[in-house]
Structure 1
Amino acid sequence: MTQSEIGLIGLGTMGAMLALNIAEKGFAIAVWNRTTEVTQRFVANAGDLAPRITATQSLAELVRSLKAPRAIILMVPAGQPVDDQIAALTPLLDEGDMIIDAGNANFRDTNRRAQDAAKGGPQFLGIGVSGGEEGARHGPSIMGGGRAQDWARIEPVLQAIAAKYEGTPCATLMGEAGAGHFVKTVHNGIEYADMQMIAEVYGVMRDGMSMPAAAISGLFDGWNKGPLQSYLIEISAAVTAVVDQKTNRPIVDVILDRAGQKGTGRWTAIEAQHLSAPIPVIEAAVMARNTSARLEERLKGEARFGAAPQTLPEGALMPQDLEAAMIAGKILCYAQGFALISAASDEFGWALPLPEIAKVWREGCIIRSAMLNDMAQALAEEPGRNLIFAPFFADHLEKSHKALRKLVAQAALCGLPLPALASGLAWFDMMRTGRSTANMIQAQRDFFGAHGFERIDGGADHHGPWALQGG
């Protein structure tokens, strides 16, 4: 029997598309799915690629069908299913064989699995894969985590199937253990925020400026030809242009306003708190999704307090204001995301390559955008610097933050909710305030808990007089 070069377990949407991508790039692949009918149907529908795909009916058959040392990709749901699959595979594998988790794993689980692998048994890689169904099929962005020698073994396959930016594969080893899955988590947090900011500006145009969906689509399409050029702006133009065949209304007007989520944005917010890294735009985006799910409560609030959105005064905002505000918001969001990655790099000793992360995101992934090339250059010039201080982006912010301020102010006056954009503006203002109000917090903490404080004159008296008064 001719043996395959790589194996894959899990033929859901992403797994099936990834398997076809691997076969299309010339690699023989063996596949297995818990439901045999799914495996058979997958191969039957593979067309010209079927000769490179071996369908197996058991894990043992999958293992036997692979060349040694074996490499098997897992495309199963995150959490316990990954542990169960590793436990089932381990007795069947030999020393030097490798398991690759390509799902949306929590990086802490990946850290644990890497530690277990180091004690014996199959080698382990955790890789973040972004791009959705289309990316998996035609070229995703791939963020690797694990030992360099293990990555090197599978690198030819991963770079072959990855998206390409001007010929460069968007597949890179980020660091050890869970580094790749951490970077993918932050990618998804930025994705949450980018989507939310676009939705907020869409809401201003729809509710505050009474613009029809077709006109909104035209603006998005125009913005996609400038600094905001990105996959998310591109698809926003596309979805607002579509008319529902059943109602003959714009399809966005018949979609229920209750957003789903798989939890990776929440993970980003949680880890940011652990690392004391402020990411208010992402946190606001997670909050907004949670609030969107409370449809019944929102309807109750509208009935009790009246509908929040009101029409903006004529001429209060112009399309160029919205575009400039979006530019500012995007810079602030990505700056926070890269600062979080930098904090994790220091905390876990990963030496995460920030410029390479920006490069990997230039194609294939959901947050791919024109700005990422400039971000990669800025991060290469001074990796430890917050992006808002890089000259290219500082110049952009100087030009655009007033439009963001104008948008947030006008929206607040008319009840148009902008949680992500407003949070970005608040953070920006804090980052440009040399004398903050935290001195009041320190005084309060010292008063009720004798926590002490630092003095601006460097004096030795680190408690207020209230301590002597029994405060």
Structure 2
Amino acid sequence: MSEQHDFGLVGLGVMGRNFILNVADHGFSSMGLDTDDEKVSALKEEGSQVRVDGTTDAATFVKALKTPRKIMLLVPAGKPVDAVIDTLLPHLNKGDIIIDGGNSFFEDTERRISYLEEKGMNFFGAGVSGGAKGARRGPSIMPGGSEAAYEHVKTIFEAASAKVNGEPCVAYMGRGSAGNYVKMVHNGIEYGLMQLISEIYDVAKKGAGYTNEKLASLFDTWNKGTLQSFLVEITAEIFAKKDELTGKDLVDVILDKAKQKGTGKWTSQNAMDLGIPVPTIDSAVTMREISSMKDYRVEADKVYHTASIGQDKPDAKTLENALYFAFIVTYAQGMSQLAAADKEYNYNLNMETIAKIWRGGCIIRAGLLEDIRKAYDRTPDLHNLMLDPDFVKTLKTIEGDARIVVQFAVGSGIPVAGLSSAIAYFDSFRSGNLPLNLIQAQRDHFGSHTYERTDREGIFHTEW
């Protein structure tokens, strides 16, 4: 182990092993660390043709790295990150760099930045999206924190990242915890898009009688048009997959309880703290929670029977347009949250750059993101994507189809919380007058909370 390596990585699970092998494939000698001998052995075996090594000893690991040491952590968020930092610290020198590549909560990242700054070391969060396959073939990477520290790993990250039109899907996001924050909102959007796809699936199958075979063909066709995206692509593959145990369509034998690791919930919670509405992301989190109530849902299914209202079933084009409408609205919600966070936390985010690096590698990559990038290129301080002239034209063209699908679903007793919330957000945003004047009157009536008027300046209170 006398060779001095360019890059170190802690956490040699599937994601970590794939990422370090990706880095090594691009000519950077790499060193891995894990407490599990089997994972270290797996790295050495799989990386036998490239300059990669591994160990279970922290001191050996750190000693094998060139200074300033560039060490990336791909371990579960929370206490494991702090534990790894404490394990490495006795062996590190001032100027060394620790990079958290996991889905850490952004406030934890701020705390760790301060903690390591006091010791003369650099820490920054770099969200990595693309799953295990993306880590191996090229993910989207969202680094934030010290720009000077990022410069030391910029070449490595650009080489390992996905490419779109030859451009790397990685860029410096901004100050402090910007990288982890952008990744958090990325995951919130991901929650929303997945929920919307599942609802269109439900409407098409239960309401319109589509078979899985037909759905596979439909989503494959959609992936060649405006809905081109990683999630639509893999959805087509899922519908076509057979179960090796039973020979049935695999999707039909998967239990309808969706798990979550917290990033969607964090997005919703922080949006509320910022006063930014993200109802489609909120709905996606809520539906995962409802899905966990399987026993109660089965019980309720036996006692409630929805009388379906006779209506025409939506055709494939209507379903496609409804999903595209809701996709746009969901991205709009996520991007508006990023814009608000930028002001609140002084990140110095560049919205065009975020859209640009999301075009490839990450889970929410989609052809739509090029249109989003262009919108922010035209208007860098765009308040909401739905105000961009091109998106205005598109949304006005397809909003009717979104309404048809929701009306059909509601009339058929099919839950469409995400689609409904997308339309409600759109309608609320485009309403010059909302009925919230009544709420202000109510608040003043029971709590003397005061109100403003439409016809004159000032703050008023009435003795009701």
Q: Counterpart of 1:279?
A: 278
Change over 3 Å in CA distance of 1:331–1:27 after alignment to 2 = same
**Aligned partners of 1:123 and 1:349: how far apart in 2?**
19
User: Which whole-Å CA distance do the structure 2 matches of 1:237 and 1:154 have between them?
Assistant: 37
Match of 1:418 in 2: 416
Normalised by the length of structure 1, the TM-score is: 0.96
Q: Which amino acid aligns with 2:22?
A: N
| Number of residue pairs aligned between Structure 1 and Structure 2 | 462
Of 116-125 and 179-188, deviating more is 116-125
State the SS of the aligned residue for 2:171: strand
Q: RMSD of the TM alignment (CA)?
A: 1.3
Give 1:313 shift: 4.6
Work out the CA distance in 1 between the residues paired with 2:378 and 2:114: 34
Separation in structure 2 between the aligned mates of residue 356 and residue 86 of structure 1, nearest angstrom: 30
Query: Contact conserved, 2:311 with 2:408, CA < 8 A, in 1?
Result: no
Residue of structure 2 equivalent to 1:320 = 317
Following the alignment from structure 2 to structure 1, what is the Cα–Cα distance between the partners of residues 124 and 134? 20
Check if 1:106 corresponds to 2:105. yes
2:350: which partner in 1? 353
Shift in Å at residue 397 of structure 1? Answer: 0.3
Task: Using the aligned pairs only, state the percent identity.
Answer: 41
Deviation track 1:43-68 (CA, whole Å, cap 9, x = no partner) reads: 1232422xx11222300000111111
Q: Please report how far the alpha carbon of residue 243 of structure 1 lies from its aligned counterpart in structure 2 after TM superposition.
A: 1.9
SS at match of 2:173: strand
Poorly superposed stretches of 4+, deviation over 6 Å:
none
Q: Is the CA contact (8 Å cut-off) linking 2:97 and 2:123 kept in structure 1?
A: yes
Q: Any unmatched runs of 5+ in structure 1? A: 467-471
1:322 corresponds to which letter in structure 2?
L
The aligned residue for residue 34 of structure 2 is: 33
SS at match of 2:231: helix
Distance in 1 (CA, whole Å) between partners of 2:295 and 2:156 is: 48
- 8 Å CA contact 1:31–1:54 kept in 2: the answer is yes
Task: Give 1:435 deviation, angstroms.
Answer: 1.1
Residues 164-189 of structure 1: CA distance to partner in whole angstroms, max 9, x if unpaired?
01000001111112100000000001
Q: Which residue of 1 aligns with 2:196?
A: 197
| Alpha-carbon distance between aligned partners in 1 of 2:58 and 2:296, rounded to the nearest angstrom | 48
Q: 1:442 to 1:331 in 2, by over 3 A?
A: same
Q: TM-score, normalised by structure 2?
A: 0.97
CA distance in 1, matches of 2:268, 2:92: 37
Q: Name the residue aligned to 1:333.
A: 330
| Structure 1 letter corresponding to 2:452 | E
CA shift in 2, pair 1:239/1:312, >3 Å: farther
My pick for the range that moved more, 418-427 or 238-247, is: 238-247
2:341 matched to which residue of 1?
344
Equivalent residue number for residue 469 of structure 1: none
Q: What's the CA shift string for 1:51-95, capped at 9, x where partnerless?
A: x11222300000111111111111111001111111111111011
Partner-residue secondary structure (3-state), 1:54? strand
In structure 1, distance between residues paired with 2:293 and 2:197: 21
**How many Å separate the matches in 2 of 1:132 and 1:265?**
16
Say if 2:163 is the partner of 1:173: no
User: Equivalent residue for 1:213?
Assistant: 212
Give the unaligned 5+ runs of structure 2: none
CA–CA separation in structure 2 for the residues paired with 1:273 and 1:459 = 28
The 10-residue stretch of structure 1 (355-364 or 62-71) with the greater mean CA deviation from structure 2 = 62-71
Q: C-alpha distance in 1, partners of 2:413/2:421?
A: 16
Given the alignment of the two structures, is residue 244 of structure 1 paired with residue 243 of structure 2, yes or no?
A: yes
Matched to 2:372, the amino acid is: M
1:329–1:421 CA contact under 8 A, matched in 2 = yes
Deviation at 1:35, TM superposition (A): 1.4
Equivalent runs, 1:220-235 vs 2, <5 Å? 220-235=219-234
Please give the alpha-carbon distance, in whole angstroms, between the structure 1 residues aligned to 2:457 and 2:273: 32
